[in-house]
Structure 1
Amino acid sequence: MSDLDNTDLAILRVLAADATKSAAEIGRAVGIGQPAAWRRIRKLTEAGVLGGRRIVVDNAALGFGVTVFLGIRLAAKGRTSLEEFERAVTAIPEVQTVQHVLGQFDYRLRITARDISDFERILRRRIMTLPGIGQVEANVMLSEERRPGPLAPLDR
Protein backbone atom coordinates (compact mmCIF):
# COMPACT_ATOMS: atom_id res chain seq x y z
CA MET A 1 0.00 0.00 0.00
CA SER A 2 1.81 3.09 -1.20
CA ASP A 3 -0.78 5.74 -0.36
CA LEU A 4 0.01 5.97 3.36
CA ASP A 5 -0.23 9.49 4.72
CA ASN A 6 1.20 10.96 7.92
CA THR A 7 -1.93 9.99 9.90
CA ASP A 8 -1.66 6.37 8.76
CA LEU A 9 2.01 6.31 9.79
CA ALA A 10 1.13 7.87 13.15
CA ILE A 11 -1.48 5.15 13.70
CA LEU A 12 1.10 2.49 12.85
CA ARG A 13 3.55 4.03 15.35
CA VAL A 14 0.90 3.97 18.10
CA LEU A 15 0.02 0.35 17.35
CA ALA A 16 3.68 -0.67 17.17
CA ALA A 17 4.19 0.73 20.66
CA ASP A 18 1.01 -0.81 22.11
CA ALA A 19 -1.30 -2.95 19.97
CA THR A 20 -3.88 -3.14 22.75
CA LYS A 21 -4.97 0.49 22.38
CA SER A 22 -8.57 1.05 21.36
CA ALA A 23 -9.58 3.00 18.26
CA ALA A 24 -10.65 5.86 20.54
CA GLU A 25 -7.23 5.97 22.24
CA ILE A 26 -5.48 5.79 18.88
CA GLY A 27 -7.68 8.56 17.50
CA ARG A 28 -6.87 10.81 20.47
CA ALA A 29 -3.15 10.07 20.08
CA VAL A 30 -3.11 11.06 16.40
CA GLY A 31 -5.69 13.85 16.51
CA ILE A 32 -8.70 12.24 14.83
CA GLY A 33 -11.99 10.85 16.08
CA GLN A 34 -12.65 7.23 17.01
CA PRO A 35 -14.73 6.44 13.87
CA ALA A 36 -12.03 7.83 11.57
CA ALA A 37 -9.33 5.91 13.46
CA TRP A 38 -11.36 2.70 13.22
CA ARG A 39 -11.88 3.18 9.45
CA ARG A 40 -8.16 3.79 8.90
CA ILE A 41 -7.19 0.74 10.97
CA ARG A 42 -9.66 -1.37 8.98
CA LYS A 43 -8.24 0.04 5.71
CA LEU A 44 -4.67 -0.77 6.82
CA THR A 45 -5.74 -4.30 7.78
CA GLU A 46 -7.60 -4.94 4.53
CA ALA A 47 -4.60 -3.65 2.54
CA GLY A 48 -2.33 -6.11 4.37
CA VAL A 49 -0.28 -3.40 6.10
CA LEU A 50 -1.48 -4.66 9.49
CA GLY A 51 -1.22 -8.42 9.72
CA GLY A 52 -2.32 -8.96 13.28
CA ARG A 53 -1.63 -7.92 16.84
CA ARG A 54 1.04 -9.60 18.88
CA ILE A 55 2.35 -9.62 22.39
CA VAL A 56 5.99 -9.72 23.44
CA VAL A 57 6.78 -12.69 25.66
CA ASP A 58 9.81 -12.60 27.94
CA ASN A 59 11.38 -15.99 27.20
CA ALA A 60 13.76 -15.74 30.17
CA ALA A 61 10.82 -15.23 32.56
CA LEU A 62 9.38 -18.49 31.21
CA GLY A 63 12.63 -20.36 31.81
CA PHE A 64 14.09 -20.10 28.30
CA GLY A 65 17.38 -18.33 28.99
CA VAL A 66 19.24 -19.10 25.76
CA THR A 67 18.55 -17.86 22.25
CA VAL A 68 20.65 -19.24 19.42
CA PHE A 69 20.74 -18.21 15.78
CA LEU A 70 21.59 -21.08 13.46
CA GLY A 71 22.85 -20.71 9.94
CA ILE A 72 22.04 -23.84 7.94
CA ARG A 73 23.34 -24.81 4.54
CA LEU A 74 21.54 -27.74 2.97
CA ALA A 75 23.82 -30.56 1.82
CA ALA A 76 22.20 -31.22 -1.53
CA LYS A 77 19.54 -28.79 -2.66
CA GLY A 78 18.46 -31.08 -5.50
CA ARG A 79 17.85 -34.18 -3.38
CA THR A 80 15.90 -32.58 -0.58
CA SER A 81 13.19 -30.14 -1.47
CA LEU A 82 13.12 -26.82 0.32
CA GLU A 83 9.48 -27.45 1.19
CA GLU A 84 10.36 -30.75 2.87
CA PHE A 85 13.05 -29.08 4.98
CA GLU A 86 10.77 -26.16 5.86
CA ARG A 87 7.91 -28.47 6.85
CA ALA A 88 10.22 -30.51 9.10
CA VAL A 89 11.96 -27.54 10.75
CA THR A 90 8.75 -25.63 11.48
CA ALA A 91 7.45 -28.68 13.37
CA ILE A 92 10.16 -28.20 16.02
CA PRO A 93 8.59 -26.13 18.83
CA GLU A 94 11.86 -24.51 19.94
CA VAL A 95 12.38 -23.02 16.48
CA GLN A 96 10.87 -19.54 16.73
CA THR A 97 11.62 -18.29 13.22
CA VAL A 98 12.68 -19.86 9.94
CA GLN A 99 14.13 -17.48 7.37
CA HIS A 100 15.10 -18.57 3.84
CA VAL A 101 18.08 -16.32 3.05
CA LEU A 102 20.68 -15.57 0.42
CA GLY A 103 24.35 -15.72 1.27
CA GLN A 104 26.59 -18.20 3.02
CA PHE A 105 23.64 -20.18 4.39
CA ASP A 106 20.31 -21.28 2.96
CA TYR A 107 18.34 -20.78 6.20
CA ARG A 108 18.59 -18.81 9.41
CA LEU A 109 16.76 -20.14 12.47
CA ARG A 110 16.06 -18.51 15.82
CA ILE A 111 15.90 -21.15 18.55
CA THR A 112 15.01 -20.75 22.22
CA ALA A 113 16.23 -23.21 24.84
CA ARG A 114 16.28 -23.45 28.60
CA ASP A 115 20.08 -23.51 28.73
CA ILE A 116 23.09 -24.59 26.65
CA SER A 117 22.65 -28.28 27.42
CA ASP A 118 19.00 -28.03 26.35
CA PHE A 119 20.14 -26.35 23.13
CA GLU A 120 22.66 -29.17 22.57
CA ARG A 121 19.83 -31.70 22.91
CA ILE A 122 17.71 -29.76 20.39
CA LEU A 123 20.66 -29.53 18.01
CA ARG A 124 21.61 -33.22 18.20
CA ARG A 125 18.18 -34.81 18.32
CA ARG A 126 16.07 -32.43 16.23
CA ILE A 127 18.10 -30.11 14.02
CA MET A 128 20.85 -32.49 12.88
CA THR A 129 18.27 -35.14 11.95
CA LEU A 130 16.41 -32.83 9.56
CA PRO A 131 16.33 -33.85 5.89
CA GLY A 132 19.15 -32.38 3.82
CA ILE A 133 21.17 -30.84 6.67
CA GLY A 134 24.69 -29.91 5.62
CA GLN A 135 26.70 -27.21 7.38
CA VAL A 136 25.40 -25.67 10.62
CA GLU A 137 26.78 -22.61 12.40
CA ALA A 138 25.49 -21.48 15.79
CA ASN A 139 25.61 -17.98 17.27
CA VAL A 140 24.46 -17.61 20.86
CA MET A 141 22.71 -14.33 21.60
CA LEU A 142 24.37 -12.54 24.50
CA SER A 143 21.93 -9.65 24.74
CA GLU A 144 19.20 -7.96 22.76
CA GLU A 145 19.24 -4.22 23.20
CA ARG A 146 17.20 -3.03 20.25
CA ARG A 147 13.54 -3.77 19.72
CA PRO A 148 11.66 -2.78 16.56
CA GLY A 149 11.40 0.98 16.74
CA PRO A 150 9.02 3.57 15.35
CA LEU A 151 8.39 3.81 11.64
CA ALA A 152 10.40 6.25 9.61
CA PRO A 153 8.67 9.51 8.74
CA LEU A 154 6.91 9.71 5.44
CA ASP A 155 9.35 11.07 2.83
CA ARG A 156 7.41 12.77 0.06
Structure 2
Amino acid sequence: MIALDEIDRAILRAMVADADLSAGALGRRLGLSQPAAWRRLKRLRAASVIRAARLDLDAEKLGFGVTVFLGVKIGTKGQAALGDFERAVSAIPEVQTVEHVLGMYDYRLRVVARDLPDFERVLRRRIMTLPGVASLDANVLLSEERRPGPIG
Protein backbone atom coordinates (compact mmCIF):
# COMPACT_ATOMS: atom_id res chain seq x y z
CA MET A 1 0.00 0.00 0.00
CA ILE A 2 1.23 3.48 -0.87
CA ALA A 3 1.01 6.40 1.55
CA LEU A 4 -1.23 9.13 0.14
CA ASP A 5 -1.22 12.74 1.26
CA GLU A 6 -3.95 15.33 0.73
CA ILE A 7 -2.46 16.44 -2.61
CA ASP A 8 -2.51 12.83 -3.87
CA ARG A 9 -6.16 12.53 -2.80
CA ALA A 10 -6.99 15.84 -4.51
CA ILE A 11 -5.33 14.56 -7.69
CA LEU A 12 -7.38 11.36 -7.54
CA ARG A 13 -10.64 13.27 -6.98
CA ALA A 14 -9.85 15.55 -9.94
CA MET A 15 -8.96 12.58 -12.16
CA VAL A 16 -12.15 10.72 -11.20
CA ALA A 17 -14.14 13.78 -12.27
CA ASP A 18 -12.14 14.19 -15.52
CA ALA A 19 -9.63 11.50 -16.49
CA ASP A 20 -8.54 13.57 -19.51
CA LEU A 21 -6.89 16.29 -17.39
CA SER A 22 -3.33 17.00 -18.46
CA ALA A 23 -0.61 17.39 -15.83
CA GLY A 24 -0.56 21.12 -16.61
CA ALA A 25 -4.33 21.53 -16.11
CA LEU A 26 -4.20 19.37 -13.00
CA GLY A 27 -1.35 21.49 -11.61
CA ARG A 28 -3.22 24.74 -12.28
CA ARG A 29 -6.33 23.36 -10.59
CA LEU A 30 -4.40 22.24 -7.49
CA GLY A 31 -1.78 24.98 -7.27
CA LEU A 32 1.12 22.76 -8.41
CA SER A 33 3.63 23.21 -11.18
CA GLN A 34 3.15 21.01 -14.26
CA PRO A 35 6.31 18.95 -13.45
CA ALA A 36 5.18 18.41 -9.83
CA ALA A 37 1.72 17.26 -10.97
CA TRP A 38 3.31 15.00 -13.60
CA ARG A 39 5.67 13.41 -11.03
CA ARG A 40 2.78 12.70 -8.67
CA LEU A 41 0.67 11.18 -11.47
CA LYS A 42 3.64 9.04 -12.53
CA ARG A 43 4.11 7.85 -8.92
CA LEU A 44 0.39 7.00 -8.56
CA ARG A 45 0.45 5.06 -11.84
CA ALA A 46 3.69 3.25 -10.95
CA ALA A 47 2.14 2.15 -7.64
CA SER A 48 -1.02 0.99 -9.55
CA VAL A 49 -3.22 3.36 -7.58
CA ILE A 50 -4.28 4.62 -11.02
CA ARG A 51 -4.52 1.44 -13.08
CA ALA A 52 -5.99 2.77 -16.32
CA ALA A 53 -8.09 5.46 -17.90
CA ARG A 54 -11.24 3.98 -19.39
CA LEU A 55 -13.61 5.10 -22.06
CA ASP A 56 -17.16 5.35 -20.69
CA LEU A 57 -19.56 4.58 -23.53
CA ASP A 58 -23.29 5.26 -23.37
CA ALA A 59 -24.75 1.84 -24.22
CA GLU A 60 -28.22 3.27 -24.85
CA LYS A 61 -26.93 5.76 -27.43
CA LEU A 62 -25.16 2.87 -29.13
CA GLY A 63 -28.45 1.00 -29.48
CA PHE A 64 -28.31 -1.17 -26.35
CA GLY A 65 -31.43 -0.07 -24.45
CA VAL A 66 -31.61 -2.94 -21.96
CA THR A 67 -29.16 -3.79 -19.19
CA VAL A 68 -29.69 -6.91 -17.11
CA PHE A 69 -27.78 -8.15 -14.10
CA LEU A 70 -27.65 -11.93 -13.97
CA GLY A 71 -26.89 -13.98 -10.90
CA VAL A 72 -25.36 -17.28 -12.07
CA LYS A 73 -25.08 -20.41 -9.95
CA ILE A 74 -22.54 -22.96 -11.19
CA GLY A 75 -23.60 -26.59 -10.73
CA THR A 76 -20.17 -28.20 -10.77
CA LYS A 77 -17.64 -26.67 -8.41
CA GLY A 78 -13.89 -26.70 -8.71
CA GLN A 79 -11.24 -24.57 -10.36
CA ALA A 80 -11.59 -26.27 -13.72
CA ALA A 81 -15.36 -25.72 -13.86
CA LEU A 82 -15.05 -22.09 -12.80
CA GLY A 83 -12.26 -21.50 -15.31
CA ASP A 84 -14.29 -23.08 -18.13
CA PHE A 85 -17.25 -20.85 -17.29
CA GLU A 86 -15.12 -17.67 -17.02
CA ARG A 87 -13.43 -18.31 -20.38
CA ALA A 88 -16.71 -19.03 -22.14
CA VAL A 89 -18.68 -16.12 -20.67
CA SER A 90 -15.86 -13.66 -21.36
CA ALA A 91 -16.20 -14.43 -25.08
CA ILE A 92 -19.80 -13.15 -25.22
CA PRO A 93 -19.70 -9.52 -26.42
CA GLU A 94 -22.98 -8.56 -24.71
CA VAL A 95 -21.53 -9.50 -21.31
CA GLN A 96 -19.95 -6.29 -20.03
CA THR A 97 -18.68 -7.48 -16.63
CA VAL A 98 -18.07 -10.85 -15.00
CA GLU A 99 -17.77 -10.74 -11.22
CA HIS A 100 -16.97 -13.80 -9.12
CA VAL A 101 -18.95 -13.20 -5.92
CA LEU A 102 -19.66 -14.77 -2.56
CA GLY A 103 -23.27 -15.38 -1.62
CA MET A 104 -26.37 -16.80 -3.25
CA TYR A 105 -24.73 -16.89 -6.69
CA ASP A 106 -21.25 -17.67 -7.89
CA TYR A 107 -21.12 -14.95 -10.56
CA ARG A 108 -22.77 -11.64 -11.29
CA LEU A 109 -22.91 -10.61 -14.95
CA ARG A 110 -23.81 -7.27 -16.48
CA VAL A 111 -25.40 -7.96 -19.87
CA VAL A 112 -26.51 -5.38 -22.44
CA ALA A 113 -28.97 -6.00 -25.27
CA ARG A 114 -30.81 -3.95 -27.87
CA ASP A 115 -34.22 -4.79 -26.35
CA LEU A 116 -35.89 -7.59 -24.37
CA PRO A 117 -36.24 -9.98 -27.36
CA ASP A 118 -32.53 -9.46 -28.07
CA PHE A 119 -31.74 -10.19 -24.39
CA GLU A 120 -33.84 -13.35 -24.57
CA ARG A 121 -31.82 -14.46 -27.61
CA VAL A 122 -28.52 -13.82 -25.81
CA LEU A 123 -29.80 -15.60 -22.71
CA ARG A 124 -31.11 -18.70 -24.50
CA ARG A 125 -28.45 -19.13 -27.17
CA ARG A 126 -25.33 -17.99 -25.37
CA ILE A 127 -25.59 -17.76 -21.59
CA MET A 128 -27.82 -20.75 -20.78
CA THR A 129 -25.57 -22.99 -22.90
CA LEU A 130 -22.40 -22.09 -20.98
CA PRO A 131 -20.56 -24.90 -19.19
CA GLY A 132 -21.66 -25.49 -15.62
CA VAL A 133 -24.66 -23.10 -15.48
CA ALA A 134 -27.16 -24.53 -12.98
CA SER A 135 -29.47 -21.56 -12.36
CA LEU A 136 -29.91 -17.90 -13.22
CA ASP A 137 -31.62 -14.92 -11.65
CA ALA A 138 -32.21 -11.74 -13.69
CA ASN A 139 -32.64 -8.13 -12.59
CA VAL A 140 -33.39 -5.51 -15.25
CA LEU A 141 -31.71 -2.14 -14.71
CA LEU A 142 -34.24 0.69 -14.49
CA SER A 143 -31.86 3.59 -13.77
CA GLU A 144 -28.29 4.09 -12.69
CA GLU A 145 -26.40 6.69 -10.71
CA ARG A 146 -22.65 6.32 -10.61
CA ARG A 147 -20.57 7.56 -7.73
CA PRO A 148 -16.82 7.45 -7.35
CA GLY A 149 -15.56 5.20 -4.63
CA PRO A 150 -13.85 6.45 -1.47
CA ILE A 151 -10.44 8.01 -1.91
CA GLY A 152 -9.39 7.93 1.68
TM-score, normalized by the shorter chain, greater than 0.5: yes
Render the CA deviation track for 1:91-123: whole Å, top value 9, x for unaligned. Answer: 000000000000000000000000000000000
Instruction: Kindly indicate whether the alpha-carbon contact (under 8 Å) linking 1:9 and 1:151 is maintained by their aligned counterparts in 2.
Output: no
The corresponding residue for 1:96 is 96
Question: Residue 50 of structure 1: SS of its match in structure 2?
Answer: coil
1:97 is matched by which residue type in structure 2? T
* Shift of residue 148, structure 1, vs aligned partner: 2.4
In 1: Cα distance, 2:56 partner to 2:25 partner: 21
RMSD: 1.4
* Shift of residue 78, structure 1, vs aligned partner: 4.0
In 2: Cα distance, 1:71 partner to 1:80 partner: 20
Superposition map of 1:18-57 within 5 A: 18-57=18-57
The corresponding residue for 1:87 is 87
TM-score, structure 2 normalization: 0.95
Instruction: Kindly indicate whether the alpha-carbon contact (under 8 Å) linking 2:99 and 2:109 is maintained by their aligned counterparts in 1.
Output: yes
In 1: Cα distance, 2:149 partner to 2:102 partner: 27
Count of matched residue pairs? 152
Q: Does 1:17 align with 2:17?
A: yes
In 2: Cα distance, 1:72 partner to 1:124 partner: 14
Instruction: Kindly indicate whether the alpha-carbon contact (under 8 Å) linking 1:71 and 1:109 is maintained by their aligned counterparts in 2.
Output: yes
The corresponding residue for 1:7 is 7
The corresponding residue for 1:123 is 123
In 2: Cα distance, 1:39 partner to 1:61 partner: 37
TM-score, structure 1 normalization: 0.93
The corresponding residue for 2:141 is 141
Q: Gaps (5+ residues) in structure 2?
A: none
Find runs of 4+ consecutive structure 1 residues off by over 4 angstroms: none
Cα distance 1:79–1:27, how it changes in 2: closer, same or farther (>3 A)?
Answer: closer
2:148 is matched by which residue type in structure 1? G
Render the CA deviation track for 1:28-84: whole Å, top value 9, x for unaligned. Answer: 111111101000000000001011111211111111000000000001114952111
Instruction: Kindly indicate whether the alpha-carbon contact (under 8 Å) linking 2:10 and 2:30 is maintained by their aligned counterparts in 1.
Output: yes
